[in-house]
Homo-oligomer: A and B are copies of this chain.
Amino acid sequence: MATIVEVARLAGVSTSTVSHVLNDTRNVEPSTRAKVMAAIEKTGYRQDAVARAMRRARTDSIGLVVSDAGEPAFAEMVHGVEHAAAARGLTLVLANSAEDPVREERAVNTLLSRRVDGLIIARCAASSAAVSSRLESESPRPVVLLDRVFDNSPHDQVGADNRESMRRLVEHLQAAGHRRFLLVAGDQRVPTLVERFRGFRDAIRDADLPQQVVVDAVDMAEVREKVAAALEQGDATCVIASSTPLAVATLECLRDAGLTTPEQIAFAAFDGFSHSDLFRPTITTVRQPAFEMGAAAVSLLIDRLGAPDASPRTLRLNQTLELRESSENYRPGVS
């Protein structure tokens, strides 16, 4: 590749003039500019982003660490982040922690070492304290927490209105006549799942319902076991799964138990499945605006670059309650 020096020589100007033409950073005589453009054309010159980043304070890149690249919801967030970043001329550097704190820490270090202008991260469930302090000490490099938001976080964050959505979902199901629920709540180290659990508790308490069965196992095999046991005991009329993986496990249990939805038991899930309208049963779902969350994280990052000392913001995007067959047609008299 040609360098800026060759372009300058060919155009008969200094490298600084070439640089200024390239970046439009000071006035250049039209004729000079033309000579430079011609030289660029002839040499096939392209700016070297590495050398540029070396000199400047910024790299025009951002890092994203997701906790599970295999989950469709995270794939959507990646898509949203990429879209918003590209729209602002930022390049995306992607890493996946796969819910492993060691890989998470390695990913964060790699990205920081590459001098990304900012970092968006969906912390993994067992995220280490080392990562937290590393992130905090990295100021003024902005960090935005995605999906998994924390109380009193020193960082900007974007999540969903999990607690409120779960409450609305449960209220709807109660109004439809359900009084005995089985909540498949999942790993309670994950803030998102904690929030959903709290929303559930809120709704149960406010409706003066008795205690409900909650499965909060971490391991999926254990989840299946406990859900199966709870179904066997059998007084729940409605099952709620707090995430897609939990919904998969739950649906498998329902199938194994020979329970059909919604005839024998109602079902609802968070995050949901793609193209769910095309298949049966269609499942009542609280849908996360994953793409928008990713895009919003980029916005927060950009805002933060412009105002490093503003106090941290937590953004919560609304989830939508999509009512479908799996929670319909419940007949209180029959239960």
| A interface residues with partner B (beta carbon < 8 Å) | 46-51, 53-54, 59, 61, 69-70, 72, 75-76, 78-79, 82-83, 86, 91-96, 103, 107, 109-115, 248, 251-252, 255, 273-276, 278-281
Partner of A278, one of B69, B96, B248: B248
A-B CB contact pairs (8 Å), 19 listed:
A46-B109, A46-B113, A48-B113, A49-B114, A69-B83, A70-B76, A72-B72, A72-B274, A75-B75, A75-B78, A82-B94, A86-B96, A86-B107, A91-B93, A91-B95, A93-B93, A248-B278, A274-B274, A280-B281
Closest to A90 in B: B110
Per DSSP, chain A at the interface is helix
Name the B residues within 8 Å of A273 (CB-CB).
274-275, 279
Q: Are A93 and B95 in contact (CB under 8 A)?
A: no
Closest to A138 in B: B1
C-alpha spacing A273/B280, complex, angstroms = 13
C-alpha spacing A290/B227, complex, angstroms = 32
Partner of A69, one of B69, B82, B93, B112: B82
Q: Are B53 and A50 in contact (CB under 8 A)?
A: yes
Q: Are A50 and B114 in contact (CB under 8 A)?
A: yes
Partner of A94, one of B92, B112, B113: B92
C-alpha spacing A93/B278, complex, angstroms = 35
Closest to A111 in B: B91
Q: Are A46 and B112 in contact (CB under 8 A)?
A: yes
Q: With contacts A75-B75, A86-B95, A91-B114 known, is A280 near B279, CB below 8 A?
A: yes
C-alpha spacing A281/B60, complex, angstroms = 47
